[in-house]
Structure 1
């Protein structure tokens, strides 16, 4: 169906992005709009599921007015994961969505994690995946403990994508890839693990393959009757949106957080890494950090500037260092008590030096994550493919190439999640061939950033000091946290 049109939608941490494009990759229209995030406490981060739904329907309504609307053959969605919606039987949210950055369930997570050995995790999940404050079981345990009435009324605990697919099609379903830390290598729920919290299993949605058609859009909504492919979590969708789908390829997704990924069939059991079960020949080793673009947004607010307008100073041996652990850290440290830290400030330090320190610090956290991935996967990729909003900055991409010491290939567009969802819509509906071929055909490269040899030597030295800074600040930040 060369004239078929596909729609991909990504419900990210800060915005909804959507694309409407042909099966050959020609972009017809796009949509982007932000929604609010509430932070009522130091570690509390919430969003309204109604905001997601409002913007998804706005995107579809706008696309429905296009002349190509009649050719739309399939829709698919992706979203942030480890963000949880507690709903009743009618899919009405009972509580604001608890966002993946939220740390309120840290105590419950520690209690649950303490009940499971690394060997049990490896046996049940295929890898020693930690139970942290963003884990679904920890969130449900927190709700049961602090809001027992809401827990009793909860019929479903859903990811944002699950909630939206259910509201669009009437079908409650999820996929095993997005059920992070809950499924076995056979892509089924890990019942011995889930049994740690009585009542959890019955509130989780049924699982199906990500390329399964979940249902069709209900009457009365834009594109009624069009198939909706189940889809997958944002990191996986972004893989395909960045053109990564084959063995040995590596991804650097730069958004609110930095998500690193590496495809390899080998699994070493490296601590701190999320190794997903193999799916359609793809074994993804992933390392999501906590605050990438969020760190740049933070320093921009301090300086009263827009993040896109920030101009970093050149990085020298005397430049300040920055730990981007403003809300703790995820992979590979999984340290909820980590905190952001500047070191090496002087009276000569100005806004440009702070911006450079933040950009470099985020790149160092990503390098730490990639090194863990390389140990997990037993390989070192020669090139990194990158995309996302944080990849828009040429200077930041160059800093990353210098820090990693290898080329960074940037893809066109700043919405790889939505692009990847469109790829999955096409494959799931039988319009496009397999994912690797579809991604290679539909995703276009923009520019390659080669590492500067002198800058790489400096980055290696500073990275070693940066790691010492984290180790030495850890007990101090833990006491402050």
Structure 2
């Protein structure tokens, strides 16, 4: 009898395999970083072969670390960084490096997209009504058009443009390229209500629907582990491969976001705020994008921040050399030192405010020219204040997205479940509760994205009848943080200043900075 489920998470920074039991307890995990290259400013690429190799390597390492047998694993399911793709020909050859979601080269195609839409009496608002996706540099749509423009011969050779999940599934033994329908909206040529491709939009943007992935519902069996893969990983031949979903959708179900009244927040490499809806949903000003909810077939609405906790990593890399050395000497995580230092600063960081837009501003304003800044500093401020201001500024951006979801008529969120690297910090979780003004909970399995994939796998092989039963059995709450009333009031005031700062800079200062930077 099997005892465990394996979830493989192909993330932005690396590939991780997590093995859990049927109650969601983590048994083992293994992680390997994926080499990333930056050929030009704004270009972000990875090698597809590296990505697939690390799927096998991480699985073998996780099984070996747990000292379990392959037959103990009921199935393997998958999750991946979203809004990312690689073109492949009929023979399985990759025609270009992976276009990572952080890649911004597609911005070049926005004027062309507008011209094409105008020929069909459409604009960005019309596109949003169909696809649930506003104008944005993160989505792969504009990068597909960039690829077709600059590499027309390779585009003609392209058999499929596939996502990282398809790479993972193929690496583990599938006989073809398989993607999931709940994550298809990123292509910006899908109907957000049905998750189906829209032929008219393919015509508008002069692309071939046949070159896009064939999509399947999460929990669908899409293959089995082959003898070759079994030899490389330790899995049993014939182990079912179960379709998962995108990392943030999996992260949402991995913290129990499977019904109304609860929202999930991820403070990881990117930042996400996710609400669940029983009905098709759109934002009145197109501030948030819409995807499918895996396991229920319903919908999620999301706000997206391109930097989030990555901005705090930048702070660490920029001003924390001594703390990094101290962490190495004490053999502890450097972020324990940074957040402990931040706790010495009062709520509001004495008026120092961090604007976290190191990779532009996405939801709710989609201001690609936005740039990061510390404002409000005086001679009285210390490094502790800067650390706290950075943590608060990142949370203020999340609060903006929560406010955007409310504008889409979501029911009141009585509870927020948080995940991502920041959720490991009690200091940061209390800051979140105070800034959002809502109770915040963490879950015991920190890798909620992989857990969500495992939950879909559990449903796919019949361990649980549906995602609700899987959530009841596999999601375990760890800690709860209640908002502190006096801190809530302080942050209401500081949040207003945060928004005033953004609005003061966005019209003239941010564009002037970008113009100067583009001369370099």
**Which residue, out of 79, 98, 120, partners 2:126?**
120
Structure 2, unaligned stretches of length 5 or more? 325-333, 515-520
Structure 1, unaligned stretches of length 5 or more? none
Q: Which moved more, 1:441-450 or 1:273-282?
A: 273-282
- Is 1:262 the counterpart of 2:267? The answer is no
CA contact (8 A) 1:5 1:68 kept: no
For residues 122 and 85 of structure 1, what CA distance do their matches in structure 2 show?
Answer: 25
For residues 22 and 293 of structure 2, what CA distance do their matches in structure 1 show?
Answer: 27
- Is 1:309 the counterpart of 2:337? The answer is yes
Residue 88 (structure 1) shift: 2.1
Q: 1:4 maps to what in 2?
A: 3
Residue 328 (structure 1) shift: 0.6
For residues 110 and 446 of structure 2, what CA distance do their matches in structure 1 show?
Answer: 34
1:212/1:317 Cα in 2 relative to 1: closer, same or farther (>3 Å)?
A: closer
Q: Deviations over 1:358-413 (max 9, x none)?
A: 11110000000011112214322011011122211111111111110111011112
Q: Deviations over 1:227-259 (max 9, x none)?
A: 111111011111121122112221011211111
Greater percentage in helix? 2
Q: Deviations over 1:301-334 (max 9, x none)?
A: 0022344431313334733111111111222222
1:40/1:104 Cα in 2 relative to 1: closer, same or farther (>3 Å)?
A: same
For residues 316 and 293 of structure 2, what CA distance do their matches in structure 1 show?
Answer: 40
For residues 357 and 50 of structure 1, what CA distance do their matches in structure 2 show?
Answer: 40
SS of 2:241 mapped into structure 1: strand
For residues 25 and 424 of structure 2, what CA distance do their matches in structure 1 show?
Answer: 21
Q: 2:378 maps to what in 1?
A: 346
Q: 1:423 maps to what in 2?
A: 455
Q: 1:80 maps to what in 2?
A: 81
**Where does 1:45-444 land on structure 2 (aligned, <5 Å)?**
45-65=44-64, 66-113=67-114, 115=117, 116-118=122-124, 120-125=126-131, 127=132, 129-168=133-172, 169-180=174-185, 181-184=188-191, 185-222=193-230, 223=235, 224-265=237-278, 267-270=281-284, 271-277=286-292, 280=296, 282-303=298-319, 304=321, 305=324, 306-310=334-338, 311-312=341-342, 313-316=345-348, 318-444=350-476
1:377/1:33 Cα in 2 relative to 1: closer, same or farther (>3 Å)?
A: farther
Q: 2:517 maps to what in 1?
A: none
Residue 122 (structure 1) shift: 4.9
CA contact (8 A) 2:10 2:168 kept: no
CA contact (8 A) 2:257 2:263 kept: yes
Aligned length in residues: 478
Residue 355 (structure 1) shift: 1.2
Q: Which moved more, 1:403-412 or 1:207-216?
A: 207-216
**Which residue, out of 482, 490, 495, partners 1:463?**
495
CA contact (8 A) 2:361 2:367 kept: yes
Residue 442 (structure 1) shift: 0.7
For residues 25 and 95 of structure 2, what CA distance do their matches in structure 1 show?
Answer: 41
SS of 1:318 mapped into structure 2: helix
Instruction: Give the alignment's Cα RMSD to 1 decimal.
Output: 2.0
TM-score normalized with structure 2 length: 0.87
For residues 421 and 259 of structure 1, what CA distance do their matches in structure 2 show?
Answer: 18
Residue 118 (structure 1) shift: 4.9
SS of 2:377 mapped into structure 1: coil
